[in-house]
Structure 1
């Protein structure tokens, strides 16, 4: 659990390699929307998936967690482990129901407190089980519906809620991080409307996984902020693909993917050839908050809880699952790598502001599909995309928007050529015909040359 940051990927020399990678499927189990009630049971597993663990946190108000499933981490470190939990945080973790309790309405509350002397306490729990991993050729999905502590600005200084996993060999050793692997499904600091997801692995500092930052990406909560509403945070570990993938989702939309071929085979094996256990906690202070202004300080407000509606772990022996079901806001930022389907493109880590991934290796005839984009009743008339190009002189093409079918005429487009490099980003606007209602949006790409001509990081619409 440390401050993640995106690490630029190296653009492969040969497009044929990316053609192979482009055959990888992007699928996600449907997630519970942020607009559902505060107490919503863990969803019924889709066809082909089996639930192997779940906790709906049903119980009497003020009671603790079920210790048949969870154990409390207490104090300021694991026994014999690194001080201050290895991250520099300042609180003492307790098993007190003032820090960790059920609310009586189907939610777990982890609440940081500050006493009269200024000392912070909080809560950290982890599953007793350490065997969560996908079967050979199958998938593991770990998800939780969470409302981050409802505090922002100066009052949130130092808050660090998280939902994450550690490799089983860590338990009892406590000094073999990050080689045994860490998967941060959700991290947040300082009350920002941002969800960070990260894989940690390799050696520290530096190494193949850029430690202590790790291989990370981030995205914003939409509809309601991360603090104001419940959202579903998920990780899908997929051994049915080649290379193996670990994908991170916010409300069913994939915004960050780590692939086995991003690191050497030994590093990947050391991080993944074993089970994992799950952790929920709210830290105060430490390395990640320090990167965003520090804290906590005298202006930080204690008593704001992270609320967890449910935690669920699913396994699949293989096959496919439904893609994200849409419900995208046309006027928000649509991450290009969150496609429901595509042809001829792949994803890569971006150096653009905010990190994460872009779609690239895009040439004539390629396309990407984004289902269920809601334009509302006031017509959208503008289209904006964040693009980059390292195309050779004379190579250019069109980025086009089509609705509901690739065979339909574009409602708008813009031309793009070399911007100075494949990670040299520009925001390009275009006018489109008036669009209302909800549509499947296709980005299609047309060029008079066969060469790659554009990368896309994100796009959106305006009135």
Structure 2
């Protein structure tokens, strides 16, 4: 999953950050409770023993200088090698994660980059998602800080199986970046196509440089909130609880926005050294760059609100004739009642799957019974042999193909058209009997997915 980010435009005016002292608190604060109307769906307070590694049930380590099959130097030109060594990534025994870049005697840098195992952090239709971390940036400035690039960010779930060769269409949310010890923060949405396009890549749609006084010497909170309860939808970025940058869905075409947001995400914490972004502000690392100055992470948390308890069909009435389908049993993809643009074919897992699926295609399943509610997500068994940079959204809609999706996920190549994986997607609460549509959206015309079955889960 190559973080292929380019040079960000620089905002020449810096805004003073108020009330810094309020947030220059103790080094170990408890994970805050969920904001009003939201629930905590993931958190880590990093309370392990001094010198211990991370809980690998929650986190995976990125190793080396690229993802297998992904862009070299993590797609950004950075110079370090990422490791899982406790010299670079460890818990300090005081409630913090430490990510420490180190230069060896030959001048080679090592550092750490970790990702959440989960890739399903998503805002359901009509709901919200908030990702938050309390971080002290590396306490280094001036010539000693040249090349330092700490970051807290997230990538679309489809990046993981595709080594992010489908970047930036699957979405990248940069929640906190600082470079060269500038005591500032940058936030950015990357989306659309890899060069130019609606999101001005490789720069992205960003906040510019925002002043962050004391961010090297004390802990501050950084967050993004994706709000699907408002129209237009919004991505809001926060420093110490203050919203300083907002993007509206109306700023982009619907396909680009949906591909970047309407699916699961996974979070990443890392300290890079060098690369295109630091180069835009003087470069580095150099012989004057200090080794061993860490980024400290007190906690990370993910909060979510639902989109409502019941989905009511606004435009059509579901069919009442024929036998019911149980939403909580596997619904074979080839058992559709109607479809467009797809074909059934022999499946390597037995029986048939539905393939040749591209942008605008759909499948319809009548009389799907959700009972009295309680559905929390759906799982689709999918495969993709799509080429580099080709990805799309698998969406679930009720009772009309024009209704807002109740759930979705993004998908890139899984390694082959019969290389199957099960991918979950959050859904809004549903009850009763409905016609279920699977719809498919992509920014490219090529086929991007095969489907074997879907199943809803309570």
TM-score grouping bracket, smaller chain normalisation: 0.5 to 0.7
User: Structure 2 regions of 5+ residues with no counterpart?
Assistant: 12-19, 309-458
Aligned twin of 2:411: none
Q: Following the alignment from structure 2 to structure 1, what is the Cα–Cα distance between the partners of residues 243 and 21?
A: 14
Verify the 8 A CA contact 1:245 1:259 in the aligned structure 2.
Answer: yes
Aligned twin of 1:197: 187
C-alpha distance 151-283 of structure 1, shift in aligned 2 (>3 A): same
Q: Following the alignment from structure 1 to structure 2, what is the Cα–Cα distance between the partners of residues 316 and 268?
A: 20
Q: Following the alignment from structure 1 to structure 2, what is the Cα–Cα distance between the partners of residues 42 and 33?
A: 17
Q: Following the alignment from structure 2 to structure 1, what is the Cα–Cα distance between the partners of residues 196 and 102?
A: 35
Q: Following the alignment from structure 1 to structure 2, what is the Cα–Cα distance between the partners of residues 221 and 39?
A: 24
Deviations 1:99-121 (A, max 9, x none): 00000000000000000000000
Aligned twin of 2:63: 74
Deviations 1:345-387 (A, max 9, x none): xxxxxxxxxxxxxxxxxxxxxxxxxxxxxxxxxxxxxxxxxxx
Report the TM-score when normalising by structure 1: 0.62
**SS of aligned partner of 1:162:** strand
**SS of aligned partner of 1:146:** strand
Which portions of structure 1, spanning 4 or more consecutive aligned residues, are displaced by more than 2 angstroms? 1-7, 218-222
Pick one of 233, 252, 257 that aligns with 1:268.
257
CA RMSD after TM alignment: 1.7
Displacement after TM superposition at 1:33 (Å): 4.7
**SS of aligned partner of 1:208:** helix
Aligned twin of 1:51: 40
Aligned twin of 2:246: 257
Report the TM-score when normalising by structure 2: 0.63
Verify the 8 A CA contact 1:57 1:107 in the aligned structure 2.
Answer: yes
C-alpha distance 32-138 of structure 1, shift in aligned 2 (>3 A): farther
Verify the 8 A CA contact 2:10 2:209 in the aligned structure 1.
Answer: no
Q: Following the alignment from structure 1 to structure 2, what is the Cα–Cα distance between the partners of residues 6 and 156?
A: 19
Q: Following the alignment from structure 1 to structure 2, what is the Cα–Cα distance between the partners of residues 113 and 259?
A: 40
Aligned twin of 1:4: 8
Aligned twin of 2:175: 185
User: Structure 1 regions of 5+ residues with no counterpart?
Assistant: 8-30, 320-463
Verify the 8 A CA contact 2:25 2:218 in the aligned structure 1.
Answer: no
Q: Following the alignment from structure 1 to structure 2, what is the Cα–Cα distance between the partners of residues 56 and 200?
A: 28
Aligned twin of 2:203: 213
Instruction: Output aligned runs, 1:62-141, within 5 Å.
Output: 62-141=51-130
Aligned twin of 1:296: 285
Deviations 1:253-272 (A, max 9, x none): 11111111111111112112
Q: Following the alignment from structure 1 to structure 2, what is the Cα–Cα distance between the partners of residues 287 and 298?
A: 18
Displacement after TM superposition at 1:138 (Å): 0.7
C-alpha distance 62-221 of structure 1, shift in aligned 2 (>3 A): farther
**SS of aligned partner of 2:199:** coil
Equivalences, count: 295
Q: Following the alignment from structure 1 to structure 2, what is the Cα–Cα distance between the partners of residues 239 and 33?
A: 30
Deviations 1:167-205 (A, max 9, x none): 000102120000000000000000001110000000121
Q: Following the alignment from structure 2 to structure 1, what is the Cα–Cα distance between the partners of residues 305 and 196?
A: 34
Pick one of 148, 169, 172 that aligns with 2:137.
148
**SS of aligned partner of 2:43:** strand
Aligned twin of 2:14: none
Displacement after TM superposition at 1:136 (Å): 1.2
C-alpha distance 318-58 of structure 1, shift in aligned 2 (>3 A): same
Aligned twin of 1:38: 27
Displacement after TM superposition at 1:6 (Å): 6.9
Q: Following the alignment from structure 2 to structure 1, what is the Cα–Cα distance between the partners of residues 21 and 257?
A: 31
Moved more, 210-219 or 277-286: 210-219
Aligned twin of 2:296: 307
Verify the 8 A CA contact 1:156 1:191 in the aligned structure 2.
Answer: yes
Displacement after TM superposition at 1:273 (Å): 2.3
**SS of aligned partner of 1:5:** coil
Aligned twin of 2:417: none
Aligned twin of 2:331: none
Verify the 8 A CA contact 1:218 1:255 in the aligned structure 2.
Answer: no
Q: Following the alignment from structure 1 to structure 2, what is the Cα–Cα distance between the partners of residues 135 and 172?
A: 22
Aligned twin of 1:444: none
